[in-house]
Amino acid sequence: MGENILSIDTVALDEEKKALKIIDQTKLPGTVEILYLTKQEDIFEAIYLLRVRGAPAIGVAAAIGVYLAALEIDAGDYDGFYAKFKKARDYLDSSRPTAVNLSWALNRMEKVVLDNKGAPPAKLRELLHGEALRIRDEDVQVCKSIGEYGLGLIKDGDGILTHCNAGQLATVNYGTALAPVHLGRERGMNFRVFCDETRPLLQGARLSSFEMVSAGVDTTVICDNMASQVMKNGWVKACFVGCDRVAANGDAANKIGTSGVAILAKHYDIPFYVCAPTSTIDMSIKEGKDIVIEERKDEEVTEMWYKERMAPKGVKVFNPAFDVTDHDLITAVITEYGVARPPYTESFTKIFSRGS
């Protein structure tokens, strides 16, 4: 296969090409293809089609994307620049609705422009460049810190179940839910990881298991409906999942199927941990029912990955990309500033104050 996937940046700015550099995740694990994207339509499409995916990675891609848009803006003064910048910002923000990291990163980029009202476009471009790289670099530190806190909750040799991919491929490095495993490996620890395949887009089978095998981790892929049996066998000591948006009360939106895993974990008395950078906690949303859930095309369920269509033409399809896990099913939310436990509204407030 050549280069190990873990040595390749999931998302980066190519300074020479003035391009967003990503691994095309729709082709993994069979083909490792690097894309260099410069046009806004291509960056939008890459996010929508999940060529780059996972909440933190989407945020970083959007930050770099809007910086690239700023390079193309033809405006002589601040007002002209801001009008065009805002259009580009809003366009990228509309590529996917559930992961709050997308608008969080774009808001940070926009704030740079707003805080420097009146500055000439050349200066604004320079500042935007700095902010995009900061967002990217901070992601590595945030994930590493989540990994440290997560590692404190498990012990060497434990079996861990994860859903979707919240690993390095979903971030700049380390991942969130898989960060404890990556960090543990660096320290000579061994975990046994069970990856739910994660229908319909197979992020678990294609991405998490690829990432874990590449890291030399004892990895087992299971169909989503096998999790109960694996838990019943006593093989899972903890579940670790990522998230796309956490409401103030701790309800957490993550890849479709996550809430089912949490319900099973409760049944078998297994701790269920949600790993969330504080950028994924949205205190403006009180409860999970207010989180917008992306719905995707029918074909993802009826034909993608099959040799031929597997459902009759004309059948109705329901294809939500995410679901919300109720806060009372979540043992703890692991952030870069520490482990938040119920009641979440209070513990999140404390967590945020550590970061300020």
Site for ligand MRU contains 171 (CB under 6 A): yes
Contact window for ligand MRU (CB under 6 A) among 36-44, 46-54, 264-272, 299-307: 46-54
- Within 102-131, the residues that bind ligand MRU by CB under 6 A are none
Site for ligand MRU contains 47 (CB under 6 A): no
| Cβ at position 56, least distance to ligand MRU in Å | 5
Burial class of residue 266 in the structure, from the number of CB atoms within 10 Å of its CB (0-12 exposed, 13-18 middle, 19+ buried): middle
Hey, what are 43's tokens? 């960056």
Site for ligand MRU contains 166 (CB under 6 A): yes
Long-range contacts at 294-297 (CB < 8 A, ≥ 24 apart): 294/96, 294/97, 294/98, 294/320, 294/321, 294/322, 295/319, 295/320, 295/321, 296/320, 296/321
Which phi and psi (to 5°) does residue 207 adopt? -110, -55
Among 242, 250, 257, 288, binds ligand MRU (CB under 6 A): 242
What single-letter amino acid sits at 63? A
Q: List, in sequence order, every residue forming a beta bridge with 332; answer none if it has no partner.
A: 273
Residue located via tokens 């260099």: 36
Element spanning 23, H or E:
strand 19-23
Burial class of residue 224 in the structure, from the number of CB atoms within 10 Å of its CB (0-12 exposed, 13-18 middle, 19+ buried): middle
What sign does the CA torsion over 23, 24, 28, 33 have? negative
Q: What is the size of the binding site for ligand MRU (CB under 6 A)?
A: 19
Among 110, 158, 197, 244, binds ligand MRU (CB under 6 A): 244
Binding mask 247-286 for ligand MRU (x = CB under 6 A): -------xx-------------------------------
Which CB, 231 or 321, lies closer to ligand MRU? 321
User: Which candidate in 93, 139, 244, 251 is catalytic?
Assistant: 244
| Cβ at position 147, least distance to ligand MRU in Å | 12
244 catalytic? Reply is yes
Site for ligand MRU contains 170 (CB under 6 A): yes
Which phi and psi (to 5°) does residue 147 adopt? -60, -40
Which phi and psi (to 5°) does residue 23 adopt? -85, 130
52 within 8 A of 10, measured Cβ to Cβ: yes
- Within 125-164, the residues that bind ligand MRU by CB under 6 A are 164
| Cβ at position 140, least distance to ligand MRU in Å | 13
| DSSP SS3 for 338 | strand
242 within 8 A of 275, measured Cβ to Cβ: yes
Residues 6+ apart with CB under 8 A from 280: 55, 56, 99, 100, 101, 104, 243, 244, 245, 246
| Cβ at position 176, least distance to ligand MRU in Å | 4
| DSSP SS3 for 114 | helix
Q: Which residue is nearest to ligand MRU (CB)?
A: 242
Site for ligand MRU contains 10 (CB under 6 A): no
Among 243, 261, 270, 285, binds ligand MRU (CB under 6 A): 243
Site for ligand MRU contains 55 (CB under 6 A): yes
Binding mask 175-214 for ligand MRU (x = CB under 6 A): xx--------------------------x-----------
| Cβ at position 52, least distance to ligand MRU in Å | 9
Among 19, 43, 50, 230, binds ligand MRU (CB under 6 A): 50
| Cβ at position 72, least distance to ligand MRU in Å | 27
- What residues are labeled active site? 244
The site for ligand MRU (CB under 6 A) is made up of 50, 53-56, 99, 164, 166, 170-171, 175-176, 203, 242-244, 254-255, 321
